[in-house]
């Protein structure tokens, strides 16, 4: 049975090691989040001192904002494409660089390096590729798909965003998949190999089921990062052409800080948070059921 002295010592140690982190989390995350919800009940332009209480009018405005829901639907399509390709490509790269190929450490570093580049810089780099490099390649080779800049076409601009996002995050997910592949029991694969299972069957029936914990993490991270995309969206397309690539985060920012409708913008941000939280929690809950033990 713990004495009062031991209890106070344990409490002191917990506060010593977790206190600074809890304080930082409270000040940086929790307080702004709660205050943001509080702001959704007021009408404010972000500048004036008057801030009248209007109740749920901001949420009613969100429901009536067709541009916001169009941006949410576009974001959902972007997330679906990005998450699928990121995880498939990330797993393929991880399988490649753990297969014993020559120079695999170099390839690991090369595939991971795009994740180290900031979103704004990444957008400007790919602006050069889509505006100058690819059109010049199209003109010299006669490939019509590259003759005109992708960023000037509504459909191609969307896929340009997907390509840049995949290029940025596939290497990061590869690292997580590498850790998952390294934890797959070698005796299980050896037994399957002795039984005559081909490489594809080993992947499908042995490796993938044992990699479910890795997929839970990678899908969660790629969902969250894709839903919250702003910097790449801003630097690469700026929402163009003709507003065809305005994602939800960009619409919320424009509503709050460009149109000075902070209350509605904050309400849209909370609705977006609720959508993302619902999708990610559902994803984790459903994929947890697929976990198997070696």
The answer to the question of residue 260 being in a domain is yes
Which ranges in 129-211 belong to alpha helices (H)? Answer: 134-141, 144-147, 154-182, 186-194, 199-202, 208-210
The answer to the question of residue 47 being in a domain is no
The answer to the question of residue 31 being in a domain is no
Structural domain containing residue 145: 59-288
| pLDDT band, very low/low/confident/very high, at 206 (cuts 50, 70, 90) | confident
CA distances from 135 to 141, 145, 146 (A): 10, 9, 5
Q: What is the mean pLDDT of residues 246-260?
A: 90
Q: Is the pLDDT of residue 1 over 60?
A: no
The tally of domains found in the chain comes to 1
Q: Is the pLDDT of residue 149 over 60?
A: yes
CATH, residue 149:
1.10.3720.10
| Residue % of the chain over a pLDDT of 70 | 95
Beta-carbon count within 10 A of 57 CB: 16
Rg (CA), the chain: 24
236: Cβ contacts below 8 Å, ≥ 6 apart: 122, 123, 126, 127, 130, 151, 160, 161, 164
In this prediction, residue 3 carries a pLDDT of 66
In a 10 Å sphere around its CB, with 0-12 CB exposed, 13-18 middle and 19+ buried, how is residue 94 labelled?
buried
pLDDT one-digit tens code per residue, 154-187: 889 999 999 999 999 999 999 999 988 888 777 7
The answer to the question of residue 83 being in a domain is yes
In this prediction, residue 73 carries a pLDDT of 95
In this prediction, residue 163 carries a pLDDT of 94
Q: Is the pLDDT of residue 2 over 70?
A: no
The answer to the question of residue 2 being in a domain is no
What is the C-alpha separation between 51 and 42, in angstroms, rounded?
A: 6
Q: Are 239 and 250 in contact (CB under 8 A)?
A: yes
156: Cβ contacts below 8 Å, ≥ 6 apart: 150
More confident residue, 23 or 10: 23
The answer to the question of residue 283 being in a domain is yes
Q: Are 218 and 67 in contact (CB under 8 A)?
A: no
Say how far residue 261 (Cα) sits from the centre of its chain. Answer: 27
In this prediction, residue 41 carries a pLDDT of 93
The answer to the question of residue 12 being in a domain is no
In this prediction, residue 168 carries a pLDDT of 92
Mean residue pLDDT across the chain = 86
Structure tokens at 27: 């000040």
pLDDT one-digit tens code per residue, 37-52: 999 999 988 788 888 9
Q: Is the pLDDT of residue 278 over 60?
A: yes
What is the C-alpha separation between 67 and 73, in angstroms, rounded?
A: 10
Q: Is the pLDDT of residue 94 over 70?
A: yes
């Amino acid at each position: 049975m713990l004495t009062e002295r031991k209890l106070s010592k344990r409490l002191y140690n917990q506060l010593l090691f977790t206190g600074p982190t809890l304080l930082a989390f409270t000040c940086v995350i929790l307080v702004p989040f709660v205050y943001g919800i509080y702001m959704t009940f007021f009408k404010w332009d972000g500048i004036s001192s008057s801030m009248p209480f209007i109740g749920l009018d901001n949420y009613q405005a969100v429901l009536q904002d067709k541009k916001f829901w169009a941006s949410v639907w576009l974001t959902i399509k972007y997330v679906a494409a990005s998450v699928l390709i990121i995880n498939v490509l990330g797993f393929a790269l991880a399988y490649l660089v753990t297969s014993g190929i020559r120079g695999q450490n170099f390839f690991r570093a090369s595939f991971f390096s795009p994740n180290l580049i900031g979103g704004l810089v990444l957008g400007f780099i790919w602006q050069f590729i889509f505006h100058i490099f690819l059109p010049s390649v199209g003109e010299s080779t006669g490939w019509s798909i590259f003759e005109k800049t992708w960023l000037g076409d509504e459909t191609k601009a969307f896929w340009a965003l997907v390509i840049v996002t995949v290029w940025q995050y596939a290497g990061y997910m590869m690292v997580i998949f590498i850790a998952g592949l390294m934890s797959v029991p070698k005796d299980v694969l050896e037994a399957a190999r002795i039984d005559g299972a081909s490489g594809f069957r080993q992947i499908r029936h042995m490796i993938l089921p044992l990699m479910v914990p890795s997929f839970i993490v990678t899908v969660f991270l790629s969902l969250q990062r894709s839903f919250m995309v702003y910097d790449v969206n801003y630097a690469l397309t700026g929402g163009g052409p003709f507003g065809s690539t305005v994602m939800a985060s960009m619409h919320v920012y424009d509503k709050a800080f460009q149109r000075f409708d902070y209350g509605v913008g904050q309400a849209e941000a909370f609705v977006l948070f609720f959508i993302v939280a619902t999708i990610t929690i559902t994803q984790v809950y459903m994929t947890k059921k697929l976990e198997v033990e070696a």
